[in-house]
Structure 1
């Protein structure tokens, strides 16, 4: 019993100390209203529901995103997501970058986006196969033939 108390004491102390370790998520890049991606209404609704938390300046930070060690993972996802693609600054990207991103969206929507660990806490972000196909079709419709 004493060993259990010592273990629990160290566990609690570790959880308290880890609160001081934080990942700094840089301020989102400045965006003007015209910088945000433009898409048909149904596509925008899907992107906002399933992608915008990590891939835009409009992150909804849930309560657990401020408690380590979970916060380390959440903030890391957002930091990496915005670095790869930020829908809020879409029109700041070069045409070459947009073409690459359209292709990447079409590929990743089939198998890795949104990530499974995100979906554990965000059931509303799940995409049906039909919704995935809609996003893929929309993205591919913007890929220029000579770019493929």
Structure 2
């Protein structure tokens, strides 16, 4: 067998194996269910600007108003998205304000540049915060925290 034929065989067999493994991944049920529970208590945004920034940069993981992108239906991305949304809602949920709301910690995360996370903003470029947007959002979160959020 020539080198070219051997290389072609490796590519074909490897590609078929990859397709098979990705197909098997689709059978793992984690990430299949994508829910947006009802909004029970909207976050009390102090102004429209901060709310608009939060909706663009935070709500996909930190609310019950998640926009489930097409890639969230295919493993292994579905697993990652589901995990991120579950964790985000657990930490801070703008749709269930007052139940577990710690806007002060969220403001610190925004000020430190930890939120929104880089792995999210790489794909969702509109979620990236400018310095001014981060300042507006952090100030609003601190104000909401001071008002009992």
TM over 0.5, yes or no? yes
Distance across 2 between alignment mates of 1:44 and 1:142 = 12
Distance across 1 between alignment mates of 2:145 and 2:71 = 38
Matching of residue 124 in structure 1 with residue 126 in structure 2: yes
Match of residue 108 from structure 2: 107
TM-score normalised over the length of structure 1 = 0.83
Question: What's the CA shift for 1:22?
Answer: 3.3
Match of residue 141 from structure 1: 143
**Runs of at least 5 residues in structure 2 that lack an aligned partner in the other structure:** 1-6
Please tell me the root mean square deviation across aligned C-alpha atoms, in Å. 2.1
Q: Structure 1 residues 141 and 127, CA, compared in 2 at 3 Å: closer, same or farther?
A: same
Q: How does 1:43-54 map to 2 (within 5 A)?
A: 43-54=50-61
Distance across 1 between alignment mates of 2:30 and 2:89 = 14
Out of 50, 55, 77, the position equivalent to 2:84 is 77
Q: Name which one, 1 or 2, has greater alpha-carbon Rg.
A: 2
Out of 22, 27, 31, the position equivalent to 2:29 is 22
TM-score normalised over the length of structure 2 = 0.82
User: Does the 8 Å CA contact 1:28/1:57 hold for their aligned counterparts?
Assistant: yes
Q: Structure 1 residues 74 and 19, CA, compared in 2 at 3 Å: closer, same or farther?
A: same
Distance across 2 between alignment mates of 1:3 and 1:10 = 10
